[in-house]
Structure 1
Amino acid sequence: SLEWFAVHPDRTMRLCYIRGQDQQMVLFDRDFSLCSEDWQPALTRPEGGAFLAFVLLEAPAWDPDQFRRDLRDLYGIPCLTEAEESEDGGSTLTFEVSGMLAAVCLYPFPVPHGEAEENAAHNYLWPEAAESAARHRGQLLVTVLPREESVREAAILQVKLVCAACRQRGTLGVYANGTVYQPEFYLNAAQPMEDGELPLLDLVWMGLYRREEGLCGYTDGLAAFGKEEIEVLDTQAAPGDLHSFLLDLASYVLEEDVTFHDGETIGFTEGQYLSISRSAGVWHDGMTLKIPYPEEP
C-alpha cells in the first residue's frame, strides 16, 4: 500500500510503499519514467499516473484557508486538514477525496532554471505568457494520485483543485502540460465539468510549431492517463484545422479509452484510413504515435 509520496522542486517524485514490515521506495523522473537504482527492483509503471500542475504566484505566499473555502464553495469538496509549514517558508496541504490522494504545496521560489518562462513561449494563444510567467516568485504545486479511483476521476479532481488555487491573490498562470495557461482560459476550459464531461483543454495541450517541411502538432498530457502522446508532422493544414484534428484525436483516445498500436489505422469519415506508426518522438523525448493529417479534413 502507498504510505506517502513527495514531489520535489525539480518535479521528481518519490513514493514509499509498505508491505508488511518491508518498505520500498520508488522514484520517478520529471517525465514520470522510473528512475533505476541498484537497490531498487524494477517495477512496471502503473496504469495512468499522477497529475501535476504549478499555479504561478506573483508573491511567494498563499492562503490555505481561502483555498479550502473555495474548494468547498465551488465544488462541495471538504478539506478538513491543516496545512503543514516547512522550514523554508513553504507549506503543504495533503488530504483525501473519495479515495484519491491530493496535495497542494507552496514552494516560496520560482520554478527553477527559467523552465516556466521557456515553456510559456509555447502558448500561441497567449502572447504575454512568457512575460507573465517571468513575474512569478512563488508556485503552488497541485497533484492528485488516483489510488483506487479511475484516472478519469483523478483528472477531474485535479482540474477542480487547480481552479480553486487560481482564486489565490496574484495568480499569474498555470504551468501544466508543457505550457503556461492564462488563468482565465483555464477556468473557462473547466466548464465542461458542469455537464459531467472531461475538461480536455485543461488536461491536454495541443501544441503547434512550424518547421521547413510544414506545420506540426503534438499532444502533451495524454501520458498522465497512461496513453502515449500523439504527433502530426509536416502538414499544409491551417493552424486552426490542425488544432481541431489533434483535439479530436485526444478526445477519442480519452473518452473511448482507446490505446493505439503501431500499424493500426484510424478514420473519422467513411473510407478514411490514417495509418498509425510508433517511433522516437520529434517534439517529445521517448516514443510517440505518429498519425498523418488527412488530405481532406
Structure 2
Amino acid sequence: MSAVAKILRARHPDLMTGPDDPGEQQVQASSPLIRCGNQLVAVMSMPAPIPDDDGLWARAATIWPEGKAVAARHRGHLIVSMLGKNERPLVAARVTTAVIGALIAAMPECCGVVWAGRVARPSGLWLEMSSRSFAPFPDYPFILWVDILPFQSDRKIGAITVGLSTFVGREIEFKTAKLTLPALIDKVAGLSVYLVEHGNVVKDGDTIGASATERIAVRHRNSEVFTGLPVFSCTDDVAGSLQ
C-alpha cells in the first residue's frame, strides 16, 4: 500500500495521500486502508474470480470486445471502496477511480475493472483515463462509470445508459427520429455528465435543451428496454414535447 500511495501521490500531486511519513510506511504496508485527499479507501484482496455475468460482458463488448475472454483467465480480484456513506457520489467516484488507477500502475497484472458491478473496462483504458479523476466538469472520466448502449425502436433509434443510476437513481433512455447515432450518443453523454455533476435535478415533465429552440421532453418512467428499470425517458419529437 505504501507503493500504491507513492504512485497515487505522483499521479495526483495536489492531493494529500498516505502513508506519507517514511517512519509509518513499514507499519502501513499491509494495511487495507489508503488515504486519498481527505478520504479513506479500503482495498480488500479476494482470492477468487468475480461472479460471471454475461450481461456485463455483452455491454462491455462495444468498448472492450475481448473483455469476456480476458476476464475468464483471472483468478483473483480486489474490492475497492471509499469509507463513509455521506459523500456525494461524484466525490466517491473521483477518489475511488484515482486509487484504482494507482493500484493498476502498481500491479501490471491487473487485467480490468468492473465498476459498481455494472460497467467493465480494460485496465489500460482505466490507467489512462483515471489520471483525470479530479479534472473539473465536464472533463472527468465518466466513461469509466457509465455505459451508453444504442438500440432500435420501431423507426427510431435510441440509447440507454447503464451505471448512471449509481449517481442519480435513474438511467437515461433517449429515443429520436431526428438525430444520427453519433449525435444521439453525444447528447446522452452530455446529459449524463450534467447529472453526475449536479445530481437528480431533472424533474418529471421538465424540458431540457442546449438552446432556446431545442426542447427535449423528459418523463420519469420505467425503461422499455430493461423492464422495471427507472429512467429519465427523453424524446425530441415535437408532438411529444411539453411546450
TM-score interval for Structure 1 and Structure 2 normalised by the shorter chain: 0.7 to 0.9
Matched, 1:207 2:154: no
Q: TM-score, normalised by structure 2?
A: 0.77
Pairwise CA distance, 1:264? 1.3
Matched, 1:131 2:78: no
Matched, 1:221 2:132: no
Which of 21, 26, 30 is the matching residue for 1:83? 30
Relative to total residues, which structure has the larger helix share, 1 or 2? 2
Which of 258, 262, 270 is the matching residue for 2:204? 262
Q: 1:294 & 1:245 partners in 2: Cα distance?
A: 15
Gap runs ≥5 in structure 2: 20-24, 239-243
Q: TM-score, normalised by structure 1?
A: 0.64
Gap runs ≥5 in structure 1: 1-63, 85-92
Q: 2:75 & 2:154 partners in 1: Cα distance?
A: 37
Name the count of aligned residue pairs. 222
Matched, 1:289 2:236: no
Confirm or deny: 8 A CA contact 1:146 1:153 kept in the other structure. Answer: no
Q: Higher mean Cα deviation, 249-258 or 193-202? A: 193-202
Q: 2:70 & 2:152 partners in 1: Cα distance?
A: 24
Please state whether the residue corresponding to 2:41 is helix, strand or coil. strand
Aligned to 2:111: 172
Aligned to 1:105: 44
Relative to total residues, which structure has the larger strand share, 1 or 2? 1
Q: 1:246 & 1:279 partners in 2: Cα distance?
A: 17
Confirm or deny: 8 A CA contact 1:99 1:148 kept in the other structure. Answer: no
Q: 2:209 & 2:71 partners in 1: Cα distance?
A: 39
* Matching residue's letter, 2:144: D
* Matching residue's letter, 1:291: C
Q: 1:194 & 1:101 partners in 2: Cα distance?
A: 16
Matched, 1:69 2:11: no
Cα RMSD for the two superposed structures:
2.8
Q: Which runs of 4+ in 1 moved over 6 A?
A: none
* Matching residue's letter, 1:188: E
Which of 144, 148, 152 is the matching residue for 2:90? 152
Aligned to 1:188: 128
Superposed CA offset, 1:56-84 (max 9, x none): xxxxxxxx454333223323521463436
